Structure 1
C-alpha cells in the first residue's frame, strides 16, 4: 500500500497564503492523509528529492518578489547546478495568490511551477492564480481548483478500504491542547522578552527590547494626519544598518481590547497555562513563552484587531450553541456566502474582536485551546529607517503616520502598530518596543561622486532622510530631494533640518505643497519644471534616482 503522505509548503507575507495552506491541510486530514503544513524556509529543501506529493501555496510581494519566509528556498531552487531530473518522482501542484493590479501578477507561482517542471516534477494541475481583485477574492479561483485537485490526488492515492472522507460537520482537532497550571505550580514565569545572548543579532525570534527615547508629533495639531518621529535606543543590541534598511516592529494589542476579549470569552487573564502539540512531530509557537498567561497570549500574540478570514467563520461555526448564529457563520464560510462576508467584514474593516461581539452565544462557548487555530498571530510591521548611524549612533528613528480612518462602522478604524507606537510617551514611563532590522531594497551608490535624486512625498521621505544624513556625514554633496505634502505650515516634516542642509550646500530641495494654492501641485510638477537639472544629473553625472511613498 502506498504511504498516503502529503506535504503543504507555503510562502506567505501577510498570512493569506498560510491560511490557505492550513485549509488544504485540514481538507487533507479529512481525506485521511498524513499531512504536514510548513513555511518554505522552515523546510529542509534538500529533502524535496524524496517527496512524492507536495502542494505549494505562495504569494507574490512587491515587484514580483517571493515572500520573506521562502527566500532561502527560492535561492536554492534556482541554483544552476541542480540536475534536470532531480524531482522526477514528485507529483506537485502550485497555488498562487496575487493581485492583478500589479504588472507581475502571481509571478512567483508561475516561475515556481515552471522551475519544478524543469527539474522533472509532474504537475497534477495547471498553476492556479488567485486574484485579490476578483469580487470574491482569491477563493473564486481557489475553491474550484481545490475540488479538481482532490479528484486527481484521490485517483492516485485512493482512500484506504473501509474509510470515507470525514464529513465537514465533524469539528477538526485543535493544533495544541492547553493545560492550565495550578496557582502554586512550580513553573517559573515566562517573561515577555527573554534577554538574548549579547552575541546574538536581534531577529524575529529574538527581538531587541528597545527603549523609546522620544516620540514627537511632526505635523501641526490642527492637521488631520498625526505623523510621529519616534526614536529608539538600541545601545548594546549589536544592530547595524545603513540607509535604505528597514526596522521590523512587533506590535501589541491595547489593554482595553485585551480586557474586552477576556470578558467576552470568560477568560481569567492571569491564568497560566502550557501548550502541548496535538500531533507528535508538530512544534510549539516559537514566539510564546512556556508557561504563558492568557493576558500575554492575547496582548502579544493573537491578532484580535485583524479582519477575520473565511476560515475563522468556518471554525467558529463548530462551537455555536445558537442556531441563528450557527447558520450565519456557516453562510459566511460557504462559497455562496462570500459576497455577504465581504460586505460584513472586508468593506467596513470589521475586526475579529468586533465580530466576536456580534456572535455572543458562540463566543462564550469557544474552547481556549482553539484560540490559536481561530486567530492568527500578530505580524511584525516594517518601517523604513529614517536616520543614519553615522549621525545618530545607537539610535533608530522612524516616521510613522498614525492610521485612522472612517468606514460605515461608528467607531473609527485604527492601525494596530501606529496607534500603539503613538501612545508610548517616554516622559510617562520606560517603554520598550521589540524590534530587529532587515536589509532594505534600496542601495545607495558607493561612489562618493555619484549624485542621488530622491523623490519622497509624505512619509515616503523616511529612507531619504537616512540617506541624506549618511551622505552628509561622509561629506558627500550632490543630494537632490523632491518632497511633497499638503501644506507648508502643517505637514512639512523636518523643515528646519532640510533648510539648514540647503544653507550649508549639502542639499538641493524642491517642495510641492499641493493645497497651498488653488491649482494642486505635486512632486511630478516640480520634476517637470526642473527637467534640465534632472537630465543634466542623469546624463552627465550618472545620478541614481530613487522613489518612495
Structure 2
C-alpha cells in the first residue's frame, strides 16, 4: 500500500507570490500523482490538521516580521497556550519563506510558524527553505533547490503505490478551471461599459471588501523636467464612511492597457469570441471579486497579469501549447530546473512580459481552460495612505513606474500606468487595508522619521495626525530627494510646519551635494541621540528596500555607539531592542 492521505500545502501571502509558488509546487506533485489540498492558512479547517500526515507551508513576511493577513487567524490558534506539546506528533512538515534581507526581520514569519509546529511535536520531513528577494537572481534559485529536496524527501518518506507511476511530463494535467463562453448572448464591446463593470464586482467570502471612490485630483508633484512623475491621487469615498489610521494601506485594482489586451486577443485568434459573456467554473478567486458582465476581453483586462514576468511554472505549462517544434523545445528548456540561469537571462534580466513572450513564440496558442493556470492573476497594488485619517478622503503619493530595460525596451508599471489615466470624476474601487506599522508610534514621545522619495507618504500621515493628537510632540523629519526644486515632495508643507515650530526638517538633496539621508542623520547625531536614547523616542523609516535601509541602520548604530561610548555590539543590540518594543519601525517596499 502506498501513501493515500492528501498532502496539504498552505500559503501565507500579501501580494500573491507565496500563493503562486504554492500552486507551482502543487503542479509538480500532481505529476508525481500525490493527492493535494492547496489553500491559504486561514482558509484551512484546523481540525483537519489532526487527520493529515504531511504539511507544507509557503509564507512571506509582512511588516515588522508579521504573519501575512491571510494567515493571522491560523497563527492566533497556533499561539494558544493550552495546546499540548504532542498535538502534532503525527505530522511531518517542511516550509519555505519568501523574504527580503533588507528587512531587519528577514523571513521571520516562516521561521516562527515552522518553530511553533516543532514545539507542538511535528517533525521535519525535509529542511526549511528561505528565499531572498535581494539576491541577484531573486527568490527562484532558492525555491528550485528547496523544491528538489521536497520532492525527493516525499518519495522516500511518503512513497506511493509501486504500480502508480508518475504522470509523464509530456502529458497535460486536467485544468482546475473551466471557462465557458455563452455565445448565444453577445455582449456590448465598449470601453465605457468595461470601465463601469470594473467598479461593480461579484463578491464572495474570499474577496476583499471594496469601497467605491471618486477621483477628486490626480496631480503631478514633481516638475515636468524631472525624470520621474510622482502623483498626488486624491480620492473620495462615495458609498461608505472610511476608517483608517496612519500606516494603513489602500489597495488599488488596476486594469491592463486596452491595446495590450487587444494585442493578446488578436495574437491568440480570439477576436471573434472576445466579447461573448464568460462563465467561470472552478477555484478561481479574484481579489476584490470578479467584475460584472464578464467577457473574455474583460477577464483578461481586469483579472490576468499579462505584463508580469513569466516564472518557470509558466514555461513548464506553455511548451505544451506550441505547435512549432523549435519553439516548443526552447520553451521546454526554460522550464527545466537546470535552466534557471538561461531563464533569468531571457525573462528576468530584461524584464520580459508574458505578452512579449507570446508575441515572440507565435505558435504558442493557449486553450481557454488553461488561461487562468498559465497567466497569474492581476493582484491589487498596495499604497501607503499619505493623508491623516478622514471619514471620506484618502490621499496617495504614487511614483509612476517607467523605465528602459537592458534591451532598451520601455517598461511601464501596470498599476501606475493605469493611475496616470485617471481623471477627476472617474469612479474606481479600492480597499482599505489595516496595517500595524504605526500602532506603537502614535503617542506623545519624540519621533525621528526618515523618508527618501515616496517613503514620505506614510510619514506625512503620521506627521499630520500627530499634530492633531499631540501638538507638543517633538517631530523630526529627514526627507531625501535629488533636487530641492524638482522632486522635494511636500516641501512647502514641511517649510510651513517648520515656521510654525511644529516640525524639525533636515532634507537631503543628493544631486546638490548634501548627500543621502544617512549622511544627514550622522551630521545631526547629537539631536538623534537625544531624541531616541535620552528622551525615549521612536524611529520610523519608510522608502525603497535594498541598500538604503541597511545604510540607515548602520548609521544609527554608529551614532548610538559614538554618542554613548558603546561597543558596536551594544549599539546593535540597542537597535534590536527598540525594534522589539515597536519603537523602530521599517516600512519598505
SS at match of 1:456: strand
Q: Select 2:475's aligned residue among 479, 490, 507.
A: 479
For residue 510 of structure 1, the aligned residue among 502, 506, 511 is 506
In structure 2, what is the Cα distance between the partners aligned to 1:105 and 1:61?
A: 10
Name the counterpart of 2:169: 168
**Corresponding residue for residue 379 of structure 2:** 379
2:568 is the alignment partner of 1:544? no
Partner Cα separation in structure 1 for residue 206 and residue 247 of structure 2: 18
Following TM superposition, by how much is the alpha carbon of 1:396 offset from its aligned partner in structure 2, in angstroms? Answer: 0.4
Aligned to 1:415: 413
Change over 3 Å in CA distance of 1:336–1:531 after alignment to 2: closer
CA drift of 1:361 comes to 0.9
Instruction: Report what 1:530 is aligned to.
Output: 524
Matches within 5 A, 1:389-404: 389=389, 393-404=391-402
Which TM-score applies when normalising by structure 2?
0.83
Cα deviations by residue, 1:382-421 (Å, 9 ceiling, x for unpaired): 211111135xx41000111111111123331111112211
Contact 2:247 2:384 in 1 (8 A): yes
3-state DSSP of counterpart to 2:372: helix
The answer as to whether partners of 2:181 and 2:279 remain within 8 angstroms in 1 is yes
Cα distance per residue 1:295-323 (max 9 Å; x no partner) = 22111110011101001011110111110
- Which residue of 2 is the match for residue 501 of structure 1? 497
Moved more, 337-346 or 92-101: 92-101
* Partner of residue 468 from structure 1, selected from 463, 481, 484: 463
Q: What is the alpha-carbon distance in structure 1 between the residues aligned to residue 356 and residue 162 of structure 2?
A: 46
Aligned partner of 1:194 in structure 2 is 200
The verdict on how the C-alpha distance between 1:203 and 1:472 changes in structure 2, with shifts beyond 3 A counting, is farther
Partner of 1:92, secondary structure, is: strand
**CA spacing shift, 1:255–1:541, aligned 2, 3 Å:** same
Equivalent residues in 2 for 1:235-314, closer than 5 Å: 235-267=238-270, 268-277=273-282, 282=283, 285=286, 287-289=289-291, 292-314=294-316
Deviations 1:91-139 (A, max 9, x none): 2222334355655444333333322222111321222334456666545
CA contact (8 A) 1:135 1:339 kept: no
The answer as to whether partners of 1:482 and 1:509 remain within 8 angstroms in 2 is yes
Q: Name the stretch that deviates more: 88-97 or 237-246.
A: 88-97
2:227 equivalent in structure 1: 224
Which has a greater percent of helix?
2
Establish whether residue 430 from structure 1 lines up as the match of residue 430 from structure 2: no
Query: What is the alpha-carbon distance in structure 2 between the residues aligned to residue 178 and residue 309 of structure 1?
Result: 23
Q: Deviations over 1:64-112 (max 9, x none)?
A: 4333322322232232221111112222222334355655444333333
Question: Cα offset for 1:371?
Answer: 0.7
Give the equivalent residue in structure 2 for 1:36.
37
Shift of 1:359: 0.7
Match of 1:344 in 2: 346
Question: Cα gap change, 1:385/1:444 in structure 2, threshold over 3 Å: closer, same or farther?
Answer: farther
CA distance in 2, matches of 1:529, 1:136: 36
Contact 1:207 1:435 survives alignment (8 Å): yes
Q: Alpha carbons of 1:233 and 1:164: their partners in 2 closer, same or farther (altered >3 Å)?
A: same
Structure 1: gaps (5+ residues)? none
CA distance in 1, matches of 2:161, 2:443: 66
Partner of 1:491: 487
Displacement after TM superposition at 1:145 (Å): 4.3
1:375 Cα deviation from its structure 2 partner: 0.7
**Deviation digits for residues 148-206 of structure 1, max 9, x if unmatched?**
444443445443364321111101111111111133389xx994333799xx9x99532
User: Measured at CA, do residues 481 and 254 of structure 1 come closer, stay the same or move farther in structure 2, by a change above 3 Å?
Assistant: same
The 1:147–1:454 alpha-carbon spacing in structure 2 relative to 1, beyond 3 Å, is closer
User: 1:343 and 1:464, CA in 2 relative to 1: closer, same or farther beyond 3 A?
Assistant: same
- Residue 433 to residue 118, structure 1, CA distance change in 2 (3 Å): same
Q: Give yes or no for contact 2:26–2:38 (8 Å, CA) kept in 1.
A: yes
For residues 69 and 377 of structure 1, the distance between their equivalents in structure 2, rounded to whole angstroms, comes to: 17
CA RMSD of aligned residues (A): 2.8
| CA pair 290-86 structure 1, distance change in 2 beyond 3 A | farther
Secondary structure of the residue that 1:405 maps to in structure 2? strand
1:126 equivalent in structure 2: 127
Please tell me whether the aligned partners of residues 404 and 415 of structure 1 are also in contact (alpha carbons under 8 angstroms).
yes
Instruction: Give the secondary-structure state (helix, strand or coil) at the position aligned to 1:292.
Output: coil
**Ranges in structure 2 where 5+ consecutive residues have no aligned partner:** 188-193, 544-589
Q: Distance in 2 between matches of 1:470 and 1:98?
A: 31
How much does 1:520 deviate?
A: 4.0
When structure 1 is superposed on structure 2, of 255-264 and 314-323 the one drifting more is 255-264
Q: Distance in 1 between matches of 2:447 and 2:41?
A: 37
Aligned residue pair count: 531
Cα drift, residue 460 of structure 1: 1.1
Q: Secondary structure at the match of 1:324?
A: helix
Cα contact 1:399–1:462 (8 A) shared by 2: yes
Secondary structure of residue in 2 paired with 1:537: helix
1:317 corresponds to: 319
Deviation, structure 1 residue 256? 1.3
Change in CA separation of 1:128 and 1:237 when aligned onto 2, cut-off 3 Å: same
TM-score normalised by the chain length of structure 1: 0.89
Deviations 1:334-381 (Å, cap 9, x if unpaired)? 12221111111100111111111111111xx21111110001111221
The answer on whether the counterparts of 1:59 and 1:106 sit within 8 Å (CA) in structure 2 is yes
Aligned mates of 2:147, 2:441 — CA distance in 1:
47
